[in-house]
Amino acid sequence: MKLLDEKEFKSYIEENFESIYKDVDDSTISQQIPGTCDSCSRDVFLKIYSETFNQAYYSDNGLPRFVNIFVECPNCRKKSFIFAVQFVDEKRIPHVTGGSSLVYKFSLYRLYRLPIQNENYINEDIPAKYDSLRKTATEASYCLTNSKFIASAILFRRAIQILAKSVLGAKGKTLFNQLEWLKSNQNLLAIDLTEIFHENAQIIKDIGNQGAHPDDDITLHDFTKEDANGLHDLFISIIHEIFVKPEKMKALQEELKKNRKLK
C-alpha cells in the first residue's frame, strides 16, 4: 500500500470532506461553526464547548494536525465530538523595501462525528416529579431521531394531554375539552397561558390525531421529517412557556427587588 504525501492527502480531503473553514489567518476556532447536525439533520451553527488546541499550528514530520471539537446543536441540543484535520500553507510575502515575511493560512476539514451517550435535553426543562411527561417526551424525541415520524407525532400529542390534564389540571374527558377548559379557567400552576400556547397545543393535538387516525385524504397519511421537526419545535415552545419562562421571571424579580432593597 502506497502512502500519500501531505499534498496528495490534502487533495483527497478537499475532494471528499466538508470544509469548516479555508485559508484563514488563525488556527484557533471561534465559539461556533456552521454545519449540519447529524442528530436532527438541520443546518445550524454548532456551539463549541472546547477543542484540543488553542495555539498556532505546527508541523511534526510534515503531518497535518488532527483536531477534536466538542460541540452542541442549538436546535436539538445534542452534544457530540467532531473529528477534523487541519492543514497549513506557508507563503512568503515580499516587502516593498526588500526582504519578505512568512505568512500562514489555515484550513480545517470535518472527517466524522462521534455522538456522546444518548441524552434527552427536553427533560432538562421538565421537573423530575412529572415522570410521565418526561418519559413521553423522551420517547417522542427518540422516534423523531430515528425517523419514526408518525409515532413521534402521536407521542407529542400524548405529551400535550399529560401536560394539560396532569400538570395544569384541565378538566374534561377529551383533549379538545381539556384545552378548551384551560382557556377560561385558572390552571394548577397559576400561569397566564398565552394565545400562542393555545394555538401550538391545538396544532399538536390535530396533527397527532392525524397520526393516530388516518385521514380520508391519502396525501396526509405520510409524515415528513419537516412535520415531525415542526411538532418538536412547538412542543419545546410550550415547555418553555410552562416551566422555563416563569422561573426566569421569578428569579429576575427577586434579583431586582434584592438589588433595589424592595420588599
Write out pLDDT tens, residues 83-114.
Answer: 888 888 887 778 777 777 888 888 888 887 77
Domain co-membership, 128 together with 255:
yes
Name the nearest CA neighbour of 64 among 131, 12, 142: 12
Among 115, 131, 157, the domain boundary falls at: 115
**pLDDT of res. 169:** 97
Number of domains the chain contains: 2
- Alpha carbon distance, N-terminus to C-terminus of the chain: 78
Domain co-membership, 129 together with 253:
yes
Among 99, 115, 131, the domain boundary falls at: 115
**pLDDT of res. 54:** 37
**pLDDT of res. 120:** 54
Among 60, 92, 115, the domain boundary falls at: 115
- The answer to whether the CB of 128 falls within 8 A of the CB of 169 is no
DSSP lists the bridge partners of residue 110 as: 18, 84
Domain co-membership, 217 together with 178:
yes
Highest mean pLDDT among 116-120, 152-156, 232-236: 152-156
Q: Is position 82 within any domain?
A: yes
Predicted confidence band of residue 58 (pLDDT cuts 50, 70, 90):
very low
Predicted confidence band of residue 235 (pLDDT cuts 50, 70, 90):
very high
Query: Percent of the chain, pLDDT > 90?
Result: 30
pTM of the model: 0.57
Domain that holds residue 83: 6-115
Predicted confidence band of residue 115 (pLDDT cuts 50, 70, 90):
low
Q: Is position 177 within any domain?
A: yes
In angstroms, the Cα distances linking 19 to 33, 41, 50, 88, 222 are: 11, 17, 19, 14, 35
Q: Is position 1 within any domain?
A: no
